[in-house]
Amino acid sequence: MYSTEIEVRTGSVAVVHDLTKDAEAFLRDADAEDGILHVFVPHATSGLAILETGAGSDEDLLTALDELLPRDGRWRHQHGSPGHGRDHVLPALLPPFATIPVIGGVMTLGTWQSVCLVDTNLDNPVRRVRFSLLEG
């Protein structure tokens, strides 16, 4: 197994951050052939999604999360910025992991699919992302 961790600065606004190029660079560095790429975010307030970016889907996802998990005072988890409790529910909907098959050193993503970090936590602008390659 080959594994490494990167740091991602997400800033102070909710964001869908495309990790695809980082994942591709990791696979090149790992001299990958065939296997499984596992991506993991060791945080209680962010998740991963595989979706199309750049055509509005990333903003649609953030809008849907705002509607599903409003940033208001309803949350029992009350520390941090107003509505921060919703950020702790996010990983139940967008898990902190993704697994992608790798064939010939290339992720087998669909034409419009990207691997994305979804971070709605306004209180923590720095995230870690771990890439692990399980070859087989």
For the chain, list the domains and their CATH numbers: 15-135 (2.60.120.460)
Q: What was the pLDDT predicted at 97?
A: 98
Residue 78: per-residue pLDDT: 82
Q: What is the mean pLDDT of residues 90-113?
A: 97
Structure confidence by residue, pLDDT tens digits, 18-45: 999 999 999 999 999 999 999 999 999 9
Which three-class secondary structure string do you get for the chain?
Answer: CEEEEEEEECCCCCEEEECHHHHHHHHHHCCCCCEEEEEECCCCCEEEEEECCCCCHHHHHHHHHHHHCCCCCCCCCCCCCCCCHHHHHHHHHCCCEEEEEEECCEECCCCCCEEEEEECCCCCCEEEEEEEEEEC
Structure confidence by residue, pLDDT tens digits, 42-93: 999 999 999 999 899 999 999 999 999 999 989 998 888 888 999 999 999 9
